[in-house]
Amino acid sequence: MLTTTGDGLLAAVLLGVAAADAWAGGVAVLAVLGGLARFGTTSLAGVAGAQAVLGPAVFVGSSLGAAGSGLAALACVAVAPRDWRGLPFGLLAGVVALGPAATGWGDGLVRALGALVGMGLVVCARRLPRPTATPMAALAAAGLGLLLAVIG
């Protein structure tokens, strides 16, 4: 059963531990902190409620904040491990960009599409060569996303 209870920061840390990658964990934490800057909470239920009322993070609020959410989501895809452990990072990208819960069929379709696109991008990225600077660049992109979320 899918649920939106729990703390997003704990989930981000656990993603880094499960991936056995400090860079990936750092990107996940920065992406969740961007949600804190935009919506005032790291609680998955709180973020779900805020995005259910306001709309998906990449479409609402200031353009800087929306760009920050999009950048954080892309950073999650870029840093994802190249095996099955990368799929939760694609899911996190969808959650950061579009939210973790839906209030109706339309919202549900948007959220499901975000999760599928995020995981699809991770799967597609497996086929690309990975430069050694990718984890550092992803961490920098997630940091910039957090900064944009704070400014916006």
Can you give the pLDDT at residue 127?
A: 85
In contact, 152 and 65? CB cutoff 8 Å: yes
* Model pTM score: 0.87
Can you give the pLDDT at residue 4?
A: 54
Can you give the pLDDT at residue 50?
A: 79
In this prediction, the residues of the chain whose per-residue pLDDT falls under 50 are 1-3
Can you give the pLDDT at residue 5?
A: 56
3-state secondary structure the chain: CCCCCCEHHHHHHHHHHHHCCHHHHHHHHHHHHHHHHHHCCCEHHHHHHHHHHHCCCCCCCCHHHHHHHHHHHHHHHHHCCCCHHHHHHHHHHHHHHHCCCCCCHHHHHHHHHHHHHHHHHHHHHCCCCCCCCHHHHHHHHHHHHHHHHHHC
Pairwise CA distance, residues 61 & 2, whole Å: 27
